[in-house]
Amino acid sequence: MLSCFTFGIYVLWTAYRKATGLFKLQTKYLLIALAVPIAPALVTNVLLPLTLGISTHGRYGPLFSLLMVALIAHTIIRHRFMDIRVVIKQGAVYLAAFLAAGTILVLLLAGSNLVFPDGHWFTALEILLALGVAVLFHPLKTRIQLTFDRYLYREPYDYQRVIRETSRALSNTIELPAILDCVGGVILDVLRPEWIAIYLLDEYAEQFDRVWKTDEVDQPKLLPLTSPMACRSSSARALVFSDELASIVGAADARTEMSRLNADVVAPLLEEGRLFGLIVAGPKRSGSPYFSDDADLLQTLAHQSAVAIRNAQTHQRVLQVNEELQKTLATIESGVVAVGARGRVNVFNKAAEQLTGRAAETLKGRGIAELPPVLGRLIEDTLADGHGHSQVEIALPDQAGQMVPLMCTISPLRNPQGALTGAVAVFTDLSRIKELERERQRAERLASLEAIASGMVHEIRNPLVAIKTFTQMLPSRFGDLDYLRDYERTVGREINRVEGLLDRLQMLSSPSRQLMEPLDVTVPLDDTLSLIKPKLEARGIILRPLKQGIYRQVLGNASQLEQLFLNLCLNALEAMDSGGQLTVRVADLSQGGGSTLLVEVSDTGCGIPEDMIEQIFNPFVTTKARGTGLGLAISRAIADAHKAVLRVRNHTGRPGCTFTIEFPVPSAKPAEVPA
């Protein structure tokens, strides 16, 4: 007996040291319940008779079993060591029902013998009475069980019915207040705690907000994210009972907080293992503990409510985002049209109504064919190939029939997996921008005319002064042959100078009227380099061409491009001394997904003064002593006629400057043309 007792205590102690949570608490009480009564019983009933030969104390040994029963019963009731309902239902209820039924049967048999004495106990009447008692046994047993339940549990509940009705109620609503009322009301009606509070995580404020409570609750409205109770619930991912925390290492802070709040149990609300809420309940009003059935019910309600609350929060966020989206779409000045993968219009904002002259009510849910044709084609292309269109200029008629210029961008809509789910078109009215652009162009033309007029006055006045002087002296020196020869030479030279100036002015205004056709820019560029090659050799300047050989074609005029390249190259030659280097580079940006073709002309000359670099393309602006200032202006006009962009920049850290021409070309590369 001593060996068995010692070994049993060792096994329980080993299990207690390894256990955690509720199991550790249960093992502790079982160890105490067995060790405390059995140890003195062994002394009185084993050790004293063996050692002293005295057995008079043996009658006290069985009394210690009462202490063992009391300790185990305390563990069963307070710490859910086992389901006490099983004991009551299978033991006390059936015993009470059996005694009640047996008493009734004995009384009936005794009464029947007194009324009908015949000397026999098991007559037909007695058998009928026994059958009647058997029929009444089940309702009698049910009534007795209900009485026991009411005594032990105050008010019994049907676990399955509560779960079923709660699930039905939660599935019938998506509103968060209704869900909180349902969950809180069920827990309050069934378990009867003194108070309940439900906290939900505010992710932006990083704290738990109390969103539901019973009327008499006086608990804090906010719980910090680092609350020990919340941290314990997050790590345990199960119900947290205050009486269990005493045996858990590191849970002292959580137990202290629950004691301060007078909370008996905390049910975590989890989503994919992440804590987003807490159901905190106080002690029962009856003073009884939370039994295993109560824990199962509370855990199940926490799981169900977590799903319902998360769905309600998602629904609220969707409604809020949709409301904000509708407000945004209604207030922005750009038209927005969104279609689904099947080509049905889902979004058509107020600005889109104004810009297209179509009503949203008549278009939502309809096909792309109901949209303006030019807009519908762009959206169809995006739905077909999944590629967007950026900053496409289109024109749509307004309600008065006037064509309104629009800048349209079409973007594909994709789900997280990358599948195409629709397209969205955003278009903006360019009328004001176009008007401002026309105003700017008019202002630039006026400024150019002013500069041209001023330059022409300066350039024409000098020849006219010479012509006027010779003409005024002509009557008095008409017979002077030397004077007449000087007069002929000077007047002819100055008239040719004026004619050259007029020819260059005509060239400045004529590029946009020239015929354009697809061509390879390297052809006029090579012609230009061949033309200036003698000048390069004469001045000792090195030519460094950088070309790949095959480029996309541009839409242009060969003679005008040759004039453009010639102006830039001659300008570079005049800026360099002997030993300089002229670099001509051609680059097609299609390899990087671009839509331009670059031609660069670089020199190693003195560069352009920084204060003149912004005006260098204006007429009659020059850095040369004898320049007219029309070469770069003509180059700019030719570039504008080809929808190209002409820029200039000085080199950093080295002498010279670079002129860059960006030609627009199609995104798709046509048939290759050899250089």
pLDDT in the model for residue 505? 62
pLDDT at 674 exceeding the cut of 50: no
- Alpha-carbon distance of 236 to 328, in angstroms, equals 44
- Alpha-carbon distance of 312 to 175, in angstroms, equals 6
Which pair of structure tokens corresponds to residue 455?
A: 């330059």
Helix (H, G, I), strand (E, B) or coil at 74: helix
Mean pLDDT, to the nearest integer, of 527-556? 84
Identical fold at 159-318 and 332-429? yes
Please, which pLDDT band fits residue 670 given cuts at 50, 70 and 90? very low
Please, which pLDDT band fits residue 35 given cuts at 50, 70 and 90? confident
pLDDT in the model for residue 148? 60
Residue linked to tokens 């095959």: 550
CATH 3.30.450.20 fits 332-429, yes or no: yes
pLDDT at 137 exceeding the cut of 80: no
pLDDT in the model for residue 673? 35
Q: Cα angle vertex 165, ends 163, 171, to 5°?
A: 100
Residue 412: Cβ within 10 Å count:
16
Identify which of 489, 499, 432 has the alpha carbon closest to the alpha carbon of residue 460: 499
Helix (H, G, I), strand (E, B) or coil at 364: coil
Q: Are 166 and 184 in contact (CB under 8 A)?
A: no
What is the CATH superfamily name and number for domain 513-674?
Answer: Histidine kinase-like ATPase, C-terminal domain (3.30.565.10)
Mean pLDDT, to the nearest integer, of 314-320? 87
Identify which of 392, 351, 402, 315 has the alpha carbon closest to the alpha carbon of residue 595: 392
pLDDT in the model for residue 492? 80
Question: What are the b/e assignments for 507-537, b being 16+ CB within 10 Å?
Answer: bbeebeeeeeeebbbbebbbebbeebeeebe
List pLDDT tens digits, range 400-459. Answer: 677 888 889 999 998 888 888 899 999 988 888 888 887 887 776 666 666 666 666 656
CATH topology for the 159-318 domain: Beta-Lactamase (3.30.450)
List pLDDT tens digits, range 487-534. Answer: 778 778 778 777 766 666 665 555 556 678 888 888 898 888 888 888
Share of residues in the chain with pLDDT > 70 (%):
80
Every domain of the chain and the residues it spans: 2-78, 84-153, 159-318, 332-429, 435-509, 513-674
* Rounded alpha-carbon distances, angstroms, from residue 462 to 458, 468, 516, 629: 7, 10, 38, 16
The one-character DSSP state at 121 is: S
Residues 6+ apart with CB under 8 A from 83: 291, 292, 293
Return the CATH architecture of domain 435-509: Orthogonal Bundle (1.10)
Residue 96 exposed, middle or buried by CB count within 10 Å (0-12, 13-18, 19+): middle
Please, which pLDDT band fits residue 159 given cuts at 50, 70 and 90? confident
pLDDT in the model for residue 342? 84
Least reliable range by pLDDT among 67-71, 195-199, 489-493, 641-645: 489-493
Q: Are 187 and 281 in contact (CB under 8 A)?
A: yes
Please, which pLDDT band fits residue 666 given cuts at 50, 70 and 90? low
Least reliable range by pLDDT among 64-73, 464-473, 531-540: 464-473
pLDDT at 593 exceeding the cut of 70: no
Residues 6+ apart with CB under 8 A from 253: 228
Residue 52 exposed, middle or buried by CB count within 10 Å (0-12, 13-18, 19+): exposed
List pLDDT tens digits, range 348-401. Answer: 888 888 888 788 888 888 888 888 888 888 888 888 888 888 888 888 887 667
pLDDT at 152 exceeding the cut of 60: no
The mean pLDDT value of the chain amounts to 80
Q: What radius of gyration do the chain's Cα atoms show?
A: 51
